[in-house]
Structure 1
Amino acid sequence: MITSVTHFNINVLDQARACDFYTNKLGFTIVTDVPMGNGHRWLTVTPPGNPGLEINLTPVVAGFGHTKASAEALRELISSGTFGVGVLTCNNVYATYEELKAKGVEFTKPPKEEFYGTEALFKDDSGNWWSPAQLKKPETAKTPGLLYKPYPRSSTIWGITISADRLIVASARTTHSSPAKILKVKLILGPTPLDVFGT
């Protein structure tokens, strides 16, 4: 039985620079920093209020779980802002926005009221984006399994699968009244280029 999440990875372009960003700008704390050989480090940080959660700042480099080609392709996707990491809850998102802006954090969206609460968007030093948010209290929707009222618009969800010899990016669209529908699956790296379009 799964009881909790304790670790997850964030792919970063430069591990030392990412550590500086997450600790000195976001206020995270270093939990583990140990050498792994060949110049690599196992480096984890934890956000305020989540002492049991460790985020591994994982450098995207050849030989560290990647070929040269897959590392280059993933680095390009990261730097272009392709990947969202998660939601950082705040007691006052407007104050957090002003605090992080003053520290030089790059925001792509100022605080804005949405159906689930008030959120902003910023990018870390690599290009990964986070959503600092002040969330509304969950509501029990009529649809089983939903915590919030159904979003009235459709949403596009991006996913990525990486292995030593291939990089696959997929997108799907879902609405509150229909299941996810595959829009496109693209094999970027692999034996042969491949595009598969859904209906």
Structure 2
Amino acid sequence: MPVSDQDRSRDFYVNVLGFDLVRDAQMQPDLRWVQVAPPGGQTSLTLVTWFESMPAGSLRGLVLETDDLDGDLAEFTARGAEAPGGVQEQPWGRYFTLTDPDGNGLVVQETRARRPG
């Protein structure tokens, strides 16, 4: 996840979105590894500042799947996140969007169960 300020981004993902801090370690004098993960998730994000080809705020459409869309929306907004469009309904499920402090775009979605084919 390309960010401009690792401390600010770590605080957003941990304190606002409720992610777990997996690792925060200095690897080299100018290289810090900050890794966060959704609780119970099967993946993690590394908050990076060192890729010229990935400017801060350039990531769009990262999807986070949830089983409690309304609960997550209430929790995130109570902690300071903004979801300007609110919950959107689609034939496949529901979602809302938000951005991190750098403008990276996140989609939080709750997918309806698929019917057996």
| Poorly superposed stretches of 4+, deviation over 4 Å | none
Corresponding position of 1:97: 73
Q: Contact (CA 8 Å) 2:19, 2:36: kept in 1 or not?
A: yes
Identity %: 28
Distance in 2 (CA, whole Å) between partners of 1:127 and 1:137 is: 31
Distance in 2 (CA, whole Å) between partners of 1:90 and 1:43 is: 23
Distance in 2 (CA, whole Å) between partners of 1:37 and 1:83 is: 25
State the structure with bigger RCO (CA 8 A, min sep 6), 1 or 2. Answer: 2
Size of the aligned set, in residue pairs, is 117
2:85 equivalent to 1:109: yes
Q: Over alpha carbons, which structure has the higher Rg?
A: 1
Aligned positions of 1:19-168 closer than 5 A: 19-50=10-41, 52-59=42-49, 64-66=50-52, 74-75=55-56, 78=57, 83-139=59-115
Distance in 2 (CA, whole Å) between partners of 1:44 and 1:131 is: 19
Give TM-score scaled by structure 2 length. Answer: 0.85
Give TM-score scaled by structure 1 length. Answer: 0.53
* 1:13 aligned to which of 1, 4, 25: 4
Distance in 1 (CA, whole Å) between partners of 2:10 and 2:62 is: 17
Structure 2 gaps, min length 5? none
